[in-house]
């Protein structure tokens, strides 16, 4: 097989601060282990820590072999013209890099960013390689959920990206998606092929570590006789909606539980203010992934209040796979396929806008009687989200794309 290129502008590297292999990195790992020639193209800008990565190879992780850093200027705020400029610069330089490729057979490009997926599709007409578009979210549709003049205006503003999306999906040789909802979206926006579903995996780390800041917390959690519920993640404005939790909290319906929130982000200050005066809600800031794994293993329930939006409906996010890897019962926003899977495996329960406390009470009861268990969660992880399952399916998919007319 000739070379396979994996492209994602904003991918995380193991050598980044609090970094690890994500979906694109695990694709690369699969190709490397199978002996397939590959190149991994990402931005020089670390989009999560907001710093430039060094261009030299000193300090690189062994998992980062075959990496090409494409220079892009970076930005400070996720919602800004500077971010848009960064993506355009990356795409222009990606174009220059790809047109010089003579031995490439397949390029797998993440969507978004729309600009880089569009450029890869354009270059494929010149260099005759096959394009696989890996859909990560429903951009730009996730900008304008709902109706009204504001939505209409946003659609007008987004029209260049809507055009690029349509061209990319119509001309892709194959589409990768994480769920059935994304598959339907791709087909409704121009895809001429049946998308291939490949769930987002999580690479289980062999060990979990504890820092000084978490040692005392772990002791308290281990010795607690109260039900402990934890959330860990980046508190972004467009991702989570804590209103079901806050409503139940202010109604006095959650007094018997202890909640621990790990992470930072733009939503942190307002969430802290909304929980002010409630001693059973504690904020711990950002901790390393290894420490977080240790903490997860000492709590009773892991919860994630995703927004009720088209972008998250039926979607198995990185967070879902991460929680499943931790092997603890999961309390998830009722958004289709994820909660259906939790019920199928008896690994957790879903909640809606007005039943947070009631569903949590039922989940705790299920745990106590053994109807939901950590063992069930671990089985679900191994069968649905483990690296081995992901790698096997991805390599089968690459072979299928290679052999297609």
Q: What is the pLDDT of residue 213?
A: 52
Tell me: the pLDDT tens digits for 343-366?
999 999 999 999 999 999 999 999
The candidate with the shortest Cα–Cα distance to 90, out of 106, 107, 114, is: 114
- Quick: pLDDT tens for 85-129: 999 999 999 999 999 988 899 999 999 999 999 999 999 999 999
| Tokens (6 digits) for 179 | 């769920």
DSSP string, 162-212: HHHHHHHHHH-SEEEESSHHHHHHHHHTT--S-PEE--------S-----H
Q: Rounded CA gap, 135 and 182, in Å?
A: 7
Q: Are strands 51-52 and 45-46 parallel, antiparallel or unpaired?
A: antiparallel
Instruction: Identify the H or E element spanning 350.
Output: strand 348-351
Instruction: Determine the pLDDT at residue 143.
Output: 76
Average pLDDT in the chain: 90
- Locus of tokens 């261009």: 55
The pLDDT assigned to 89 comes to 96
Which of these, 331, 345, 339, 332, lies nearest to 314 by C-alpha position?
Answer: 339
Neighbours of 229 (CB within 10 A): 25
pLDDT at 101: 87
* Measured CA distances, 81 to 87, 161, 353 (Å): 10, 15, 34
CB 44, CB 70: distance < 8 Å: yes
Token pair recorded at residue 90: 């990356």
Q: The pTM is what? A: 0.87
Residues of the chain with pLDDT under 50: 207-208, 210, 212
Query: Hey, what are 182's tokens?
Result: 């994304």
Task: Give residue-wise pLDDT tens across range 211-220.
Answer: 545 666 776 7
């Amino acid at each position: 097989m000739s070379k396979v290129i994996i492209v994602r502008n904003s991918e995380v590297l193991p050598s980044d601060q609090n970094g690890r292999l994500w979906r694109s990195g695990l694709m690369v790992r699969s190709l490397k282990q199978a002996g397939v020639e590959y190149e991994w193209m990402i931005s020089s800008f670390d989009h999560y820590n907001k710093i430039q990565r060094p261009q030299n190879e000193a300090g690189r992780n062994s998992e980062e072999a075959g990496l090409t850093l494409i220079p892009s200027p970076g930005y400070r705020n996720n919602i800004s013209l500077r971010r848009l400029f960064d993506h355009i610069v990356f795409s222009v330089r990606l174009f220059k890099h790809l047109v010089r490729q003579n031995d490439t057979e397949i390029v797998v490009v993440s969507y978004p960013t729309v600009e880089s997926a569009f450029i890869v599709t354009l270059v494929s007409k010149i260099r005759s390689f096959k394009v696989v578009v890996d859909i990560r979210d429903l951009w730009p549709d996730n900008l304008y959920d709902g109706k009204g003049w504001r939505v209409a205006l946003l659609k007008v503003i987004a029209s260049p990206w809507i055009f690029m999306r349509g061209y990319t999906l119509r001309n892709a040789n194959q589409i990768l998606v994480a769920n059935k909802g994304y598959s339907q979206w791709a087909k409704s926006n121009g895809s001429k092929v049946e998308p291939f579903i490949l769930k987002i995996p999580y690479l289980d780390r062999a060990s979990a570590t504890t820092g000084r800041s978490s040692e005392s917390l772990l002791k308290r959690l281990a010795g607690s006789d109260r039900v402990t519920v934890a959330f860990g993640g980046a508190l972004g404005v467009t991702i989570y909606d804590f209103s079901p939790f806050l409503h139940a909290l202010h109604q006095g319906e959650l007094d018997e539980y202890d909640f621990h929130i790990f992470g930072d982000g733009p939503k942190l200050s307002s969430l802290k203010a909304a929980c002010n005066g409630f001693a059973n809600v504690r904020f711990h800031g950002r901790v390393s992934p290894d420490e977080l794994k240790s903490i997860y293993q000492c709590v009773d329930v892991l919860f994630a209040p995703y927004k009720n939006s088209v972008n998250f409906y039926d979607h198995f996010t990185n967070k879902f796979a991460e929680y499943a890897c931790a092997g603890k019962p999961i309390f998830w926003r009722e958004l289709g396929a994820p909660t259906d899977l939790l019920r199928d495996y008896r690994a957790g329960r879903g909640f809606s806008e007005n039943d947070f406390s009631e569903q949590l009470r039922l989940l705790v009861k299920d745990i106590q009687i053994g109807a939901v268990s950590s063992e069930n969660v671990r089985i679900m992880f191994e069968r649905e989200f483990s690296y081995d399952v992901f790698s096997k399916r991805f390599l089968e998919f690459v072979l299928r794309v290679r052999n297609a007319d």
